[in-house]
DNA sequence: TTGTATGCGTTATCAG
DNA sequence: CTGATAACGCATACAA
């Protein structure tokens, strides 16, 4: 139970060696003899030696830590998708001996927070979450010259920094095509905040798919907000009880989709009999397995799926690699989302296909 | 655009002062003249001086950081309730200039992780999440002599360490009483993992309330698992389609409650007409406002409510206070959950009150 | 009110 | 292969 802190000096004294040799032995330098190394390692374990992080950091100039700045949403909310990202990244950090630093910042105030933790030497690299379409954080971090990886990206084909992103545009095109192949023509979009690049791209995909079949996107059934449950509920309520309701809903996350289902149930409707629902599924673990599996093992929601946890893992790997090789080129990965057919999509209801008074028919079912 | 790192020495040189004076001026020591202090502060800002965290930490022995070890659940999942805790705690950390360190650990492996970040001097204090009924982490941290605060607690009236907890026992007694006052006699419990103290206490409250009215708890309608959506779905499915189904469900979190609602809808049932549902609501922001508010501003779920975000805030405050006053006594706070009546509870359905074949009647409604 | 000297616990440079 | 010794950047006891 030796609770007294044992430092390098004491360890070296106990071994009758110099601090230098002990340090080298512990850090795997090749020039130390294997017998000495074994002795040192054994003694270090026995005496419970742990190198001081701040001393090491001061001496090397490396913090062995990575910073994450998470933005307070409009509801002073931390994006719940973040837990799953964290699970993926944290696993990698643990494996490579990196610390994870977390700071909150109000939307727009991230730069100060980044600057602070970087210039005080607390981190060797940072992750950018939720990039906007034209995000000041990217030029800012580039000017600082610190390694960073963006979860998502900004403009078209950005090459000046590292990022990992889902092909959101194509994912929503495919989703829309899938619904139109089933006969749907009027499809609502319940999107995330379109200042965010991922949501902007999703809207683009949605619009492109519609227009490719000669359908003009209708702003009356397109929404853009923080992806939370009540939002899905309100949006679904609005379009399903409005005039000319859509026969299908394209929803940007499982969270608002749950709200959509609540609205659907409250209106006495059923999916997919009355309305089809297609979701972008980030594989949130607390809604897993299979984004709410049904008894037969088929996922509940039909979805475009891409694991945010895997993204966290890969981004952490990339960032650590980048920290290790300062001169390296930026790297990019564009992932394709997978279409998974569940229970919430089906062919356009017959009543819908017949007349244009479908709104009334929907409402009358209550 | 001075990107070169300016340290205390350079700043002092630029000012024609000694490092000592500059340091004292910046750290608010009283003995420095106000004119000097103003000069120093101005120059520090102008030259973009930020003290090195590792140097300060090495010199003072304080890390100005707080460690959180989050446990991987059975599904290799990070508890989504954590984002809201984080939102509360992070706000306080930001205010007091503390860093938040996050590490993942497999269930049971937390001690090594705590030991590592503590003995390497990365943190000044730690938070314990999700304490078990007899949690080895508490004696372990006490033996280390590091400030820590537990979110929850372990045995009866523990006094040897600081904690903040909800009165889970009473909350579930009240919930159960509320349902029984409505006429319900057969109430299912969809609980969290009862190795965890909070869930254990909830079960105690549930059982005590039942027994106080002469009802023997029935293990056939009591569940204990990770509080995720599919769990709620499965449990609800099982009891509602089984023989002798309950007329009310007591659910430990909004997450499984969403799964419960999915099962209820799939069975063609309605709440509260066919079945009452009462939830413990942690005020998760991504399900806010009002745990899924309905149009009239009344919350959707009837719930026992206590904000996990507020808990995060208060725990952070307590811990920082404790770090500042080493000799202090442990502090405890026991919060009462609030009963909020929503739309998912109602009197016992008539059919239930009449016969004992209610299971059949439920099923036949499909 | 300001300055000098020293220590914090490592790693890194340079000799041996 | 090993060992003195000097940084790293700040805080602080002690002097002036």
Question: What's the pLDDT tens digit per position in A326-360?
Answer: 888 999 999 999 999 999 999 998 764 444 444 44
Domains of chain A, first to last: 8-49 (1.10.260.40), 60-166+308-336 (3.40.50.2300), 168-307+340-365 (3.40.50.2300)
DSSP state of A196: B
Residue B229, both tokens: 């959506």
The whole-number pLDDT of residue A331 equals 96
In this complex, is the C-beta atom of B104 within 8 Å of any C-beta atom belonging to chain A?
A: yes
User: Which parts of the protein come within 7 Å of strand D, by CB position?
Assistant: A 16-21, 24, 30-34, 36, 55, 58-59, 61; B 5, 7-9, 19-20, 23-24, 26-27, 49-52, 55-56, 58-60
Taking the Cβ of residue B106 and every Cβ of chain A, the question of whether any pair is shorter than 8 Å is answered with no
What would the DSSP string read from start to end of A157-190?
A: S--SSEEEEE-HHHHHHHHHHHHHHTT---EEEE
Q: Is A90 within 8 Å of B82 when comparing Cβ atoms?
A: no
| Closest of B133, B135, B151, B141 to residue B85, by C-alpha | B151
pLDDT at A287: 77
Tokens of B171: 């909350």
**Mutation for testing the B interface, residue in A4, A55, A99 having most B CBs under 10 Å:** A99
The answer to whether B262 and A344 have CB atoms below 8 angstroms apart is no
State whether residue A54 sits within 8 Å of chain B by CB.
Answer: yes
User: Does residue A18 sit at the B interface (CB-CB below 8 Å)?
Assistant: no
Q: Where are the beta strands (DSSP E) in B29-184?
A: 65-72, 99-106, 125-129, 148-151, 162-166
Is the pLDDT score of A365 beyond 50?
Answer: no
What pLDDT was estimated at residue A360?
41
A18 nearest nucleotide via C1' and CA = D3
Q: pLDDT tens digits, residue range A203-251?
A: 999 999 999 999 999 999 999 999 988 899 999 999 999 999 999 999 9
Considering only CB atoms, B288 lies closest to which of A75, A93, A102, namely: A75
pLDDT tens series, chain B, 366 aa: 345 689 999 999 899 998 999 999 999 888 888 899 999 999 999 999 999 999 999 999 999 999 999 988 766 677 888 889 999 999 999 999 999 999 999 888 999 999 999 999 999 999 999 999 999 999 999 999 999 999 999 987 678 999 999 999 999 999 999 999 999 999 999 999 999 999 999 999 999 999 999 999 999 999 999 998 889 999 999 999 999 999 999 999 999 999 999 899 889 999 899 999 999 999 888 876 444 556 667 889 999 999 999 999 999 999 999 999 988 899 999 999 999 999 999 999 876 444 444 444 443 333
Rounded Cα distance, A85 and A65, in Å: 17
Nucleotide nearest to A5 (CA to C1'): C9
In this predicted model, what pLDDT tens digit does every residue of A259-293 receive, in sequence order? 999 899 889 999 899 999 999 999 888 776 444 55
Whether A129 has a pLDDT exceeding 90, the answer reads yes
Q: Where are the alpha helices (DSSP H) in chain A?
A: 8-15, 19-26, 34-46, 53-60, 81-96, 110-119, 137-144, 168-181, 197-212, 229-241, 254-266, 308-324, 350-354, 358-364
CB neighbours (10 Å) of residue A139?
Answer: 13
Q: List the helix and strand counts (H, then E) for chain A.
A: 14, 12
Q: Are residues A101 and B104, on separate chains, in Cβ contact within 8 Å? A: no
Give the pLDDT band of residue A364 (cuts 50, 70, 90): very low
Residue A116 has, within 13 A of its CA and on its CB side, a CA count of 16
For residue B65, give the chain A residue with the closest CA.
Answer: A101
Q: Residue A19 in contact with residue A27, Cβ under 8 Å?
A: no
Indicate yes or no: CB of B292 within 8 angstroms of CB of A230.
yes
Nearest Cα to Cα of residue B99 among A81, A100, A265, A210: A100
CB proximity B262 to A under 8 Å: yes
pLDDT at A362: 41
Nearest CA in chain B to A93: B103
- Which of A1, A48, A78 to mutate to test binding with chain B, by most B CBs within 10 Å of its CB? A78
Using CB atoms and an 8 Å cut-off, which of residues 289-308 of chain A contact chain B?
A: 289, 292-293, 295, 300
Q: What are the φ and ψ backbone dihedral angles of A342, each rounded to 5 degrees?
A: -115, -145
Q: Which of residues 127-166 of A touch B (CB under 8 A)?
A: 143-145
At B75, give phi and psi (nearest 5°). -95, 25
Query: Is pLDDT of A120 > 80?
Result: yes
- Asked if residue A272 has a cis previous peptide bond (ω within 30° of 0), the answer is yes
CB contact under 8 A, B80 and A284: yes
Bases in strand C with any atom closer than 7 Å to a protein CB: 1-5, 7-13
């Amino acid at each position: 139970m030796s609770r007294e802190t044992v430092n390098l000096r004491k360890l070296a004294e106990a071994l009758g060696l110099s601090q230098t040799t002990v340090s080298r032995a512990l850090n795997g330098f090749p020039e130390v003899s294997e017998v000495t190394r074994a002795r040192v390692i054994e003694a270090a374990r026995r005496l419970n030696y742990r190198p001081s992080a701040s001393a090491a950091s001061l001496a090397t100039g490396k913090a062995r830590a990575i910073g994450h700045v998470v933005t307070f949403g409009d509801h002073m909310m931390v994006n719940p998708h973040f837990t799953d990202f964290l699970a993926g990244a944290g696993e990698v950090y643990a494996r490579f001996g990196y610390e994870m630093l977390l700071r909150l910042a109000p939307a727009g105030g991230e730069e100060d927070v980044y600057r602070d933790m970087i210039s005080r030497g607390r981190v060797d690299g940072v992750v950018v979450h939720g990039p906007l379409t034209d995000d000041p954080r990217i030029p800012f971090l580039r000017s600082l010259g610190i390694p960073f990886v963006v979860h998502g990206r900004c403009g078209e084909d950005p090459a000046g920094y590292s990022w990992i992103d889902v092909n959101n545009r194509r994912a929503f095109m495919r989703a829309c095509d899938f619904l139109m192949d089933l006969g749907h023509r009027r499809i609502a979009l319940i999107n995330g905040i379109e200042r965010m690049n991922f949501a902007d791209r999703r809207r683009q995909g949605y619009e492109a798919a519609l227009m490719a079949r000669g359908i003009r996107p209708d702003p009356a059934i397109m929404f853009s907000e923080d992806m939370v449950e009540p939002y899905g509920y309100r949006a679904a309520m609005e379009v399903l009880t409005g005039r000319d309701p859509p026969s299908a809903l394209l929803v940007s996350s499982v969270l608002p989709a749950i709200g959509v289902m609540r609205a659907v149930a409250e209106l006495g409707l059923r999916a997919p009999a009355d309305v089809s629902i297609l979701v972008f599924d980030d594989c949130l673990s607390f809604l897993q397995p299979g984004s709410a599996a049904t008894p037969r093992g088929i996922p509940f929601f039909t979805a475009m799926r891409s694991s945010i946890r895997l993204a966290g893992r890969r981004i952490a790997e990339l960032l650590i690699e980048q920290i290790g090789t300062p001169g390296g080129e930026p790297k990019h990965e564009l992932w394709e989302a997978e279409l998974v057919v569940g229970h919430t999509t089906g062919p356009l209801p017959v009543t819908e296909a017949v007349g244009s008074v479908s709104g009334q028919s929907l409402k009358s079912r209550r």
